[in-house]
Amino acid sequence: MKKILITGGAGFIGSHVVRLFVAKYSEYQIYNLDALTYAGNLENLADIEKAANYTFIKGDITDESFITNLFEKHQFDGVIHLAAESHVDRSIEDPMAFVKTNVIGTVNLLNAARKLWAKNPEGKRFYHISTDEVYGSLGAEGLFTETTPYDPNSPYSASKASSDHFVRAYGETYDLPYVLTNCSNNYGPNHFPEKLIPLFINNIITNKPLPVYGDGNYTRDWLFVVDHAIAIDLVFHEGINHETYNIGGFNEWKNIDLVQLLCSIMDNKLGRVAGKSAELITYVKDRPGHDLRYAIDANKINAELGWKPSVTFEQGLEITVNWYLNNPDWLHNVTSGEYADYYKKQYVK
Ligand code: NAD
Ligand code: DAU
């Protein structure tokens, strides 16, 4: 039986990856290592928590001796590393938290994996999950490819870029078997309501202002989270060692157009007159260092591994909005406590 460590499995994307692996691979033992920060939530995995091939471990990837002991104890065959501080706005307030988890935490895992696999790297794999934000910002034209030079603009993207460089360096220096993917903006169920789509769904439900940064003419490339999890499964099993793959939705939206679309979907769902939710749109001070546009060229993973998104944006948004409307307890639980302080600091000046 293979032992696979998934870090950050209680978070948004991680929980979808854990669910997919636990359901699909009964021959694997899946270990979910998560510190349960504000973004980690075991409710995300309530449906699989009793599965025989699933183990949850609470722990912090920045704790070097804990990580060393964990690898010695369990002798993992593979690592899928998603644990991170993931929100750009929080990185602007507190960059060091991002350096600690995203850089030092990643290097701790790399050290433990290289030591464990040094004698027999055959069949082992360290999979680092990263972001398209490492490439910086695009103008009106062009797409990020796997060879686009790194040019990060926020403390978050700088910390992710740094971790990517460490992963590559461990591949070159120690011949660590790794794969790396850089993905565009995900959306879907279990997304923490600090990010644009779930924040705006929650604010529409609760009749709160929809804070659009700057003029709203910023562009993101949106991918349904389950399609990202499917891509991660494919790259983990079939990706070539030491290769990078870009993952994206072929689905660019200006923020303001996306917000208008979301408002009209929510008007329908909530039985409001058309245009009611859009009255909540409020233009607010821009995010410092705000990247104008991200767009991924996902042709390499498509051509080499046969991956492409399985749902349209319309279908994905329908599933997402329905999930939030059907899970008011989840929303209530994650928006009480620390969230209220964060919200006040970020939006109520
Ligand atoms: P998230 O913030 O929802 O979840 C992060 C998880 O990591 C949480 O469960 C948290 O408890 C855990 N964690 C944080 N610090 C930890 C630590 N020190 N030790 C152990 N666990 C810790 O993030 P997400 O949106 O699911 O993103 C997951 C990964 O995917 C990140 O590496 C992120 O950079 C990357 N990514 C995200 C997106 C996106 O759109 N959300 C897109 C591309 C790449
Ligand atoms: O591109 C991948 C990245 O996508 C991931 O690596 C990050 O972890 C993830 O958080 C996301 O980063 P963004 O900064 O693009 O996502 P966010 O949801 O924070 O913002 C999306 C866009 O919406 C961005 O242009 C900023 C804008 N925005 C966001 C918030 C939270 C607003 O206008 N108002 C808001 O309140």
Q: For the segment 218-258, what is each residue's pLDDT rounded down to a tens digit?
A: 999 999 999 999 999 999 999 999 999 999 999 999 999 99
Active site residues: 132-133, 156
Residue nearest to atom 16 of ligand 2 (CA): 195
Q: Token digits for 209? A: 């202002």
Confidence grade of residue 337 (pLDDT, cut at 50, 70, 90): confident
Q: Ligand 2 center to residue 124 CA distance, Å?
A: 34
- pLDDT number for residue 205: 98
β pairing state of 178-183 and 243-247 = parallel
Check if CATH label 3.40.190.10 holds for domain 2-191+222-251+294-312+338-347: no
CA distance 309 to 186: 12
CA distance 123 to 301: 21
Residue nearest to atom 14 of ligand 1 (CA): 84
Each domain of the chain, given as residue ranges in start order, spans: 2-191+222-251+294-312+338-347
Q: Ligand 2 center to residue 154 CA distance, Å?
A: 12
Which atom of ligand 1 lies at the shortest distance from residue 223's CA? 40
CA distance 15 to 33: 11
Residues with Cβ within 8 Å of 117's Cβ and at least 6 positions away in sequence, in order, are: 124, 176, 177
Ligand 2 pocket test: which of 91, 262, 287 has the largest number of ligand atoms within 8 Å of its C-beta?
287
How does pLDDT run across 102-149, given as a tens digit for each residue?
999 999 999 999 999 999 999 999 999 999 999 999 999 999 999 999
Indicate which ligand has the atom closest to the C-alpha of 346.
Answer: 2
**Mean pLDDT within 260-265:** 98
Q: Ligand 1 center to residue 13 CA distance, Å?
A: 7
User: Is the beta carbon of 7 within 6 A of some atom in ligand 2?
Assistant: no
- pLDDT number for residue 97: 98
User: Is the beta carbon of 254 within 6 A of some atom in ligand 2?
Assistant: no
CA distance 324 to 330: 8
Q: Ligand 1 center to residue 271 CA distance, Å?
A: 35
User: Is the beta carbon of 87 within 6 A of some atom in ligand 2?
Assistant: yes
The alpha-carbon radius of gyration of the chain (Å, integer) is: 20
User: Is the beta carbon of 45 within 6 A of some atom in ligand 1?
Assistant: no
SS3 26: coil
pTM: 0.99
Is the pLDDT at 349 greater than 80? The verdict is: no
**Mean pLDDT within 93-104:** 98
User: Is the beta carbon of 34 within 6 A of some atom in ligand 1?
Assistant: yes
β pairing state of 281-284 and 178-183 = unpaired
Residue nearest to atom 35 of ligand 2 (CA): 196
Report which of residues 349 and 10 the model is more confident about.
10
Based on the number of CB atoms within 10 Å of its own CB, is 287 exposed (0-12), middle (13-18) or buried (19 or more)? middle
How does pLDDT run across 142-182, given as a tens digit for each residue?
999 999 999 999 999 999 999 999 999 999 999 999 999 99
Query: Quick one: DSSP state of residue 135?
Result: G
